[in-house]
Amino acid sequence: MTTTIRSYLYGSVLACSLGFPLAQVQADSYPAEELNYTVAFGPGGGNDLMSRTVVDILKTHELFNGQNIRVENRDGGSGAIGFNYVAQQRGNPYHATSTSGNFLGTPIVSNTGWTYRDFTPIGLLARDAMVLAVRSDSGYETLQAFVDAAAEKNMKIGGTGAAGPERVVAGLFAKAADIDFTYVPSQDEGGLVTSLTSSSIDAIVANPSEVIGQVSAGNFRLLGYSERERSTVFPDVPTFTEQGYDFEFSLPRGVVMPADIPVEVRDWWVETLKQVVDTPEWQEYLTTKGLSGNTIWGDEFGHYLEKTDADFRGVLTEIGVIK
């Protein structure tokens, strides 16, 4: 059962009727019009919260030169519909949207008509990396102990979704550690956490924010973190890389705009978003959501998307989800 909550007809109806003329942009006068910030998911979800945090900061710190910013939720098809809408705005510098896992995942598993290449990457503001968690009473004190035990028995590793980022991290880890495992997909966060609390499985791959409550309660232990650098929010969790398992994987929580926008506009946004991530509001957002704040900008963000997309496709091909 999907529990995505989507609503909102008013804004979207209005926007459709306003056929947007392709404005010629002078870099020095940017921004001269209202910005349409599309959220490709329903209100209340992770992508929605990040988008609204960015927009709130742009407004309260008056970073968008006094022009209005309109946030719209256009959800459906795991992001397919909203991202498609923004991709259609090719060349229009007054559209932006936030990326999350489905920005890469949805086009891989279904025929959406767009990919990350149909957007101009602005900046990666935060990363959603994954942790490997075990029960505190499991006896696996370190990642090494877990890997050693995995030589003896087939580990059952759980994650949310059959072909999501959790599956990719589990696959990349098993490859790097040269162990066999069985992946047990849960349909939601709650089911994932209890599949471990109830001792049904051996370990789970999860977003840090999903398990941090269990960790502080002393029930779970975190063995590895899937970014190359340690998380800015959970600096105590060692990365897989520093423990000798050479891989990294995280989901992009960044801002992208339609393809073919003037390069001056892109640079304007890179500079502006650099100011956004410097605010205390942004730091607070990272802390409450358990996201890591290692940023990258412009073309470098584009390369990151390319690499992450390739990893994603690689693992999904290996397990037979895509051909």
Binding region for another protein (CB under 8 A): 1-9, 12-13, 42-46, 48-49, 52, 75-78, 80-81, 109-112, 156, 161-163, 182-187, 189-191, 193-195, 197-201, 209-210, 212-214, 216-217, 219, 288-289, 316, 320-321
Q: How far is the CB of 88 from another protein (least distance, A)?
A: 14
Distance CA 222, CA 228 (A): 16
Nearer to another protein, 93 or 290 (CB): 290
Nearer to another protein, 180 or 260 (CB): 180
Nearer to another protein, 15 or 176 (CB): 15
Q: How far is the CB of 66 from another protein (least distance, A)?
A: 21
Q: How far is the CB of 237 from another protein (least distance, A)?
A: 16
Which residue bears the tokens 């397990």?
319
Nearer to another protein, 77 or 262 (CB): 77
- DSSP bridge pairs for 222: 133
Q: Both tokens of residue 7?
A: 């609503």
Q: How far is the CB of 76 from another protein (least distance, A)?
A: 6
Return the amino acid letter for 99: T
Nearer to another protein, 142 or 182 (CB): 182
Q: Both tokens of residue 5?
A: 């909550």
Q: How far is the CB of 49 from another protein (least distance, A)?
A: 5
- DSSP bridge pairs for 209: none
Distance CA 263, CA 26 (A): 11
Q: How far is the CB of 191 from another protein (least distance, A)?
A: 7
Helices 101-109 and 298-318: crossing angle in degrees, nearest 10, is 40
Nearer to another protein, 120 or 214 (CB): 214
Distance CA 323, CA 318 (A): 9
Cis amide bond preceding 235, omega within 30:
no
Distance CA 314, CA 89 (A): 30
Distance CA 91, CA 44 (A): 30
Structure letter (DSSP) for residue 226: S
